[in-house]
A and B are shown apart, each in its own frame.
Chain A
Amino acid sequence: MIWPTSNWIDIGALDDIPRRGARVVRTAHGCVAVFRTQDDRVFALDDRCPHKGGPLSEGIVHGDAVTCPLHGMVIGLADGQARGADSGAVATHPARVEGGRILLDAARLIRGRAA
């Protein structure tokens, strides 16, 4: 079977997400948090903190990291890895901005992380 290697889907305008903020995209595999940094970079991560499942999309975004709203674990947006003394990671998903629109690689999101 041949899956398409990528399938970029337009999920919304960059300005739908506030700078240093996030919005959620619902997928069959759970929610994905799409973050926008102060300098307009965009990252997509599973919206579940590796610590106790907190919604990362509700955290405070600083630099290229987010602090989970439930217990304060800090997650790097680019690699999904916990920072500092904590350990743990969340899955990241390819995301990019083109002409003011946010594109997610939905092929992976639709068929899941296992592929």
Chain B
Amino acid sequence: MKRKLVVIGAGMASGRMLEHLLAADPDGWDITLFNAEPRGNYNRIMLSPVLSGEKTWDEIVTHDEAWYAANRIACRFGEPVVRIDRQARVVHSNRGSAPYDKLVIATGSAPFVIPVPGRDLPGVVTYRDLDDTNAMIAAARPGAKAVVIGGGLLGLEAAAGLRQRGMEVTVIHLMGHLMERQLDPAAGYLLQRDLERRGIRVHCRGSTAAILGKDRVEGVLLEDNTGYEADLVCMAVGIRPETRLAVDAHLEVARGIVVDDRMVTSDPDILALGECVEHDGQLFGLVAPLYDQAKVAAATLMGQDAAFRPVQTATKLKVTGVDLFSAGDFADKPGREDIVFRDPARGVYKRLVIEQDRLIGAVMYGDTADGSWFFGLIKDATSIAPMRDTLIFGPTYQGGATANPLAAVAALPPEAEICGCNGVCKGTILTAIEGGATTLAEIRATTKASASCGTCTGLVEQVLASALGDAFEKPAAQPICGCTDLTHEDVRRLIKARGLKSMPAVMQELGWKTSCGCATCRPALNYYLLADWPGEYRDDPQSRFVNERNHANIQKDGTFSVVPRMWGGVTTPAELRAIADAAEKYAVPMVKVTGGQRIDLLGVRKEDLPAIWADLNAAGLVSGHAYAKGLRTVKTCVGSDFCRFGTQDSTGLGIRLEKRLWGSWTPHKVKLAVSGCPRNCAEATCKDVGIVCVESGYEIGVGGAAGMDVKETERLAKVATEDEAIEIVVAFVQLYREHAKYLDRPYKWLAKVGLDWVRAQVVEDRASRAALVARFDLSQSIHQRDPWAERAIPQARAGFAPLADLTREAAE
């Protein structure tokens, strides 16, 4: 019979424990998981990149609903446990209860709030979980003022994130230099200088006296009477183990819940692990020892012998562009010697602390490539006597190796730790490679290396490269172009997260390497800004390809083609007459019927464009956007009006769709079709969006293609009414506008995000669908204008003509 396991707290430590337990004993337990937060396990270390906008929430979820469901874990999230009844072996939450055979307490830690007046004012937050992070993101208006109390690891990550979101940030730190637990004063100074260069003000030796404000926070007053204005105050002064449940249950609690080497508390049926525990007088805040505890706790539950032995840990700061490493003990004491290396111009500082020919501490700033090698020397207490002269230059200088960038990694012994979070050493990774792993993803899957905070990703790739040689291809996170190292996806996210609303803002804030971009990035940026900030960003014609700038398609001889819109492929004798007249008047060399059911006038000279547009406009014809990354055509068959097989009014629906969708720009062109019956004469099943009418309604397919790739649409939804079909198509197009990479057709985008996700947003979640439609309509209120009419006016015509004509001068 299965035993009942109750876990309180769905954090990183208990999540890892469950993984170990389920891997070894998948059917042994009925598991119930309580969490006070209304969500499951996520990578808490990565909240800082979420705060700064460099990562999204989805990217840091470690266990999603599917995982919990697959492992049959009863999740009771958003349900804090209020009492443990050890006699009855039952835990009680605010809503119910659960009996246990074994109980694991993993309640983590709570942020420490300094007891000063004003600490309860709205606008004062701590920095611990997703809700805190979201509260800060919500408050982070560019130009608003933030004060971060606490210049430790967490406080500085918060400060950097808020600064990246455009806030004016001041850090108040009680001690004489930043991160005094991890850094010596010299490295602390370099860190402070770097942060100040980024516009973060640092006030060391500052003791908070009060938080000021009437209805919400307005400022912070220090004991030395300095005052700082603040719209947001983030307290990041430290954490304390969350032990209240254990205290109430009369378990042995010192600073944390006391556990033995097997992670068992003073009650043999209750285990504890994570930041809430105290082991051998020590508390734990970094993730590496917590993962060790998780392994031990899982073993103990399975009745195996295991003992937790805390190991040394190294620290890195996750602030993009700040390179910092510290490990071991670096306090000045008698009998200790230093080796120091400084390169002020590069902002590099390295200090090694040596005691009795053993390395016991290392602090590095600006260049931390050798960090894990030094950390290995500290952990293994290697004698450094034979290499003392060149020790500070790192492993490449030992034994006269060349300065190949891979040599440092190749020189590491198998025991060298690569991934600090998961305690993965080089040998483990090499074993995985011998077992057939050839990519970063496979190494992550088999060893967990680089799967937590991710700072060792480069190292893991170097191990792969040194082991596999040319057989290793670095996964291509393709940058947009040579002007930036960021991918399209990165840039889209950062534009939104950091409120970047102009091209210079994007290039400045995201560190473009060129003065004004290139022909690859500028059109993409112009699209992203237009799509994300309708009404605020003004289109930049100089960042558009020629066709979109001139609203006509350039031909190989420099002339253009003109295609008026024919709604749903339906036209009239009057329209045809106007087209024929225009073709003759401007001596159009070729008139051709297109595949999208309209007429193309090919070979029009640029200077004639405004005039031919004016003539066509006069007959009621408008631009067909045959040149645009936007809606092209909606191809239709004649449907129930004329066809003896037609089931619905496919022509009418096509016209309604075209009138609804034309105008707004999209990442790439968008083509639709509506067929009136499954005979599919409009070829709807190879379009970006294709509707096939049936007796009972409308089958909406998406992601078709009939170009370089040929692909059949996949079913997005089936609906009963025309109105609902239109609503879903509009929502789909808007979702594509908001998320796709520039120049990805819908089928390519769908392959990346998955149809299920799209269906959830545009079909299943009614509120999301309505919001997408509303955002599309906002964009249409600005972009649904005939560009031909706007350019056929006299003021605009000049731009299409030559600036000057010197042919006559030549004749003189």
Pick the residue among B523, B543, B554, B806 that contacts A26 (CB under 8 A): B806
Contacts of B811 in A (CB 8 A): 28
Q: Do B519 and A9 touch across chains, with their CB atoms under 8 A apart?
A: no
Q: How far is the CB of A19 from chain B (nearest CB, A)?
A: 7
Do A63 and B516 have beta carbons less than 8 Å apart? yes
Q: Which residues of A contact B799 (CB under 8 A)?
A: 23
Q: Please name the residue on chain A nearest to B514 by beta carbon.
A: A63
Task: Tell me whether A24 and B803 are in contact (CB under 8 A).
Answer: yes
B707 CB-CB contact with A under 8 Å:
no
In the complex, A64 Cα to B802 Cα: how many Å?
22
Q: A11-B806, A20-B516, A26-B804 are in contact. List 12 more A-B contacts (CB 8 A).
A: A18-B541, A19-B542, A21-B541, A29-B810, A38-B515, A53-B558, A58-B550, A69-B545, A69-B554, A72-B519, A74-B519, A109-B806
The B509-551 residues at the A interface (CB cut-off 8 A) are: 514-519, 522-523, 541-546, 549-550
Pair A17/B803 contact, Cβ less than 8 Å: yes
Q: What residues of chain A lie closer than 8 Å to B554, measured between beta carbons?
A: 55, 58, 69-70
Determine whether the beta carbon of A12 is less than 8 Å from that of B803: yes
B87 sits at the interface (CB 8 A): no
Contact code string B378-401 (vs A, CB < 8 Å = 1, else 0):
000000000000000000000000
Q: Which 3 A-B pairs have the closest CB atoms?
A: A67-B519, A28-B810, A23-B803
Q: Are B810 and A60 in contact (CB under 8 A)?
A: no
| Contact (A58, B546) CB under 8 Å given A24-B802, A38-B516 | yes
CA of A106 to CA of B410, assembled, Å? 65
Asked whether A62 is an interface residue with its Cβ less than 8 Å from the other chain, the reply is yes
CB contacts under 8 Å to B, within A1-57, are 9, 11-12, 16-21, 23-29, 31, 34, 38, 52-55
Determine which residue in B515, B542, B804 has the highest number of CB atoms from chain A within 10 A of its CB, and name it.
B804
Among A9, A18, A23, A26, the residue within 8 A (CB) of B542 is A18
Q: Assess whether B333 is interfacial by the CB under 8 Å rule.
A: no
Given contacts A21-B542, A38-B515, A69-B546, contact A54 B558 (CB under 8 A): yes
Q: How far is the CA of A52 from the CA of B554 in the complex (A)?
A: 14
Chain A residues with Cβ under 8 A from B802's Cβ?
23-26, 31
**How long is the Cα–Cα vector from A18 to B549 in the complex, in angstroms?**
12
- Is B584 part of the binding interface, using a Cβ–Cβ cutoff of 8 Å? no
Asked if B807 is at the interface of the complex by the 8 Å CB criterion, the answer is yes
Whether B516 and A62, one on each chain, are in contact in the complex, defined by CB atoms closer than 8 angstroms, is yes
Chain A residues near B514: list those with CB within 8 A. Answer: 62-63
Residue of B nearest to A33 (CB): B803
Interface residue? B470 (CB, 8 A): no
CB distance from B544 to the nearest CB of A (A): 8
Complexed CA–CA distance, A70 and B554 (Å):
8
Task: Check if A77 is an interface residue, CB within 8 A of chain B.
Answer: no
Minimum Cβ distance to chain B for residue A110 (Å): 5
Instruction: Flag if B518 contacts A25 (CB, 8 Å).
Output: no
CA distance A72 to B542 in the complex (A): 16
User: A17 CB to closest chain B CB, in angstroms?
Assistant: 7
Say whether A76 faces chain B, with CB atoms less than 8 Å apart: no
Whether B519 and A59, one on each chain, are in contact in the complex, defined by CB atoms closer than 8 angstroms, is: yes
Nearest neighbor of A52 in chain B, beta-carbon distance:
B556
Choose one: A16, A19, A54; the contact of B803 (CB below 8 Å): A16
Query: Are the CB atoms of A27 and B810 closer together than 8 Å?
Result: yes
Does B805 belong to the interface (CB within 8 Å)? Answer: yes
Asked whether any CB of chain A lies closer than 8 Å to the CB of B332, the reply is no
Query: Is B709's CB within 8 Å of the partner chain A?
Result: no
Q: Check if B58 is an interface residue, CB within 8 A of chain A.
A: no
Given contacts A60-B519, A60-B522, A11 and B804 within 8 Å (CB-CB): yes
- Bound CA span A21–B544, Å: 11
Closest to A48 in B: B558
Please state if A62 and B806 are interface contacts (CB–CB under 8 Å).
no
Q: In the complex, what distance in Å separates the CA atom of A56 from the CA atom of B517?
A: 18
Residue of A nearest to B798 (CB): A16
User: Which residues of B are found within 8 Å of A69, using beta-carbon distances?
Assistant: 545-546, 554
Chain B residue numbers with a CB within 8 Å of A82 are: none
Question: Across the interface, do B542 and A55 meet the contact criterion of CB distance under 8 Å?
Answer: no
B616 to chain A minimum Cβ distance, whole angstroms, is 22
B350 CB to closest chain A CB, in angstroms? 38
Q: Which residues of B contact A61 (CB under 8 A)?
A: 542
Sample of 7 A–B contacts (CB below 8 Å):
A27-B806, A31-B802, A38-B515, A62-B516, A109-B806, A109-B810, A110-B810
* A62–B546 touching, CB < 8 Å: no
Q: How far is the CB of A91 from chain B (nearest CB, A)?
A: 15
- Min C-beta distance of A75 to chain B, whole Å: 11
How far does the Cβ of B797 sit from chain A's closest Cβ, in whole Å?
A: 13
Interface size on B, residues (CB 8 A): 30
- B676-702 Cβ-contact flags toward A at 8 Å (1 or 0): 000000000000000000000000000
Q: Report chain B residues within 8 Å CB of A21.
A: 541-542
Q: Does B343 contact A (CB under 8 A)?
A: no
**Which chain B positions have C-beta within 8 A of A72?**
519
Contact with A along B777-812 (1 / 0, CB 8 A): 000000000000000000000010011111101110
Partner of B522, one of A52, A62, A110: A62
- A28: chain B residues at CB < 8 Å are 806-807, 810-811
Q: Given A62-B517, A63-B514, A67-B519, does the pair A34, B806 have CB atoms closer than 8 Å? A: no
Query: Are A59 and B803 CB-contacts (below 8 A) given A52-B556, A70-B556, A106-B809?
Result: no
Contacts of A24 in B (CB 8 A): 802-803
Identify the closest chain B residue to A23 (Cβ): B803
Q: How far is the CB of B321 from chain A (nearest CB, A)?
A: 25
In the bound complex, residues from chain B placing their C-beta under 8 Å from that of A11 are 803-804, 806
Q: With contacts A52-B556, A67-B518, A70-B554 known, is A60 near B545, CB below 8 A?
A: yes
**CA–CA, A58 and B809, complex, Å:** 25
Closest-by-CB residue of A relative to B607 is A24
Interface string of A93-115 (1 = CB under 8 A from B): 00000000000101001110000
Q: Contacts of B805 on A, CB cut-off 8 Å?
A: 25-26
Considering only CB atoms, which chain B residue lies closest to A34 in the complex? B803
Q: Is the CB of B803 within 8 A of A25?
A: yes
Which chain B residue lies CB-closest to A74? Answer: B519
CA–CA, A90 and B516, complex, Å = 23
A-contact 0/1 string along B646-689, CB 8 Å cutoff: 00000000000000000000000000000000000000000000
Please tell me if the beta carbons of B519 and A62 are within 8 angstroms of each other in the complex: yes
Alpha-carbon distance between A12 and B801 when the two chains are bound, in angstroms: 13
Q: How far is the CA of A74 from the CA of B518 in the complex (A)?
A: 10
Contacts of A9 in B (CB 8 A): 806, 809
Give the shortest distance, in Å, between A27 (CB) and chain B (any CB).
5
A94 to chain B, nearest CB (A): 14
Neighbouring B residues of A18 by C-beta, 8 Å:
541-542
Cα of A28 to Cα of B809 in the assembled complex, Å: 9
- Asked if B542 contacts A20 (CB within 8 A), the reply is yes
**Whole-angstrom distance between the Cβ of A15 and the nearest chain B Cβ:** 11
**Shortest distance in angstroms between B610's beta carbon and chain A's nearest beta carbon?**
15
Bound complex: CA A31 to CA B546 (Å): 17
Please name all residues of chain A whose beta carbon is closer than 8 Å to the beta carbon of B516 when the two chains form the complex: 20, 38, 62-63
- The complex places the Cα of A18 from the Cα of B546 at a distance, in Å, of 14
Which of A23, A31, A74 has the most chain B CB within a 10 Å cutoff? A23
Within the assembled complex, what's the spacing in Å between the Cα atoms of A72 and B481? Answer: 14
Residues of A within 8 A of B809 (CB): 9, 106, 110
| Min CB–CB distance A92 → chain B (angstroms) | 16
Bound CA–CA A29/B806 (angstroms): 10
Which residues 319-360 of B have a CB within 8 angstroms of A?
A: none
A-chain residues with CB within 8 Å of residue B519 when the two chains form the complex: 59-60, 62, 67, 72, 74
Residues in A whose Cβ lies below 8 Å from that of B546 = 58-59, 69
Docked CA distance A111–B810 (Å): 7
Asked if B541 and A26 sit within 8 Å, CB to CB, the answer is: no
User: Closest Cβ of chain B: how far from A101's Cβ, in Å?
Assistant: 11
Residue contact B558 to A25, C-beta cutoff 8 Å = no
- Name which of A20, A34, A111 has the most chain B CB atoms within 10 A of its CB: A20
Contact A60 B542 (CB under 8 A): yes
Q: How far is the CA of A21 from the CA of B546 in the complex (A)?
A: 11
CA distance A21 to B803 in the complex (A): 12
Instruction: Please give the distance in Å from B502's CB to the nearest CB on chain A.
Output: 14
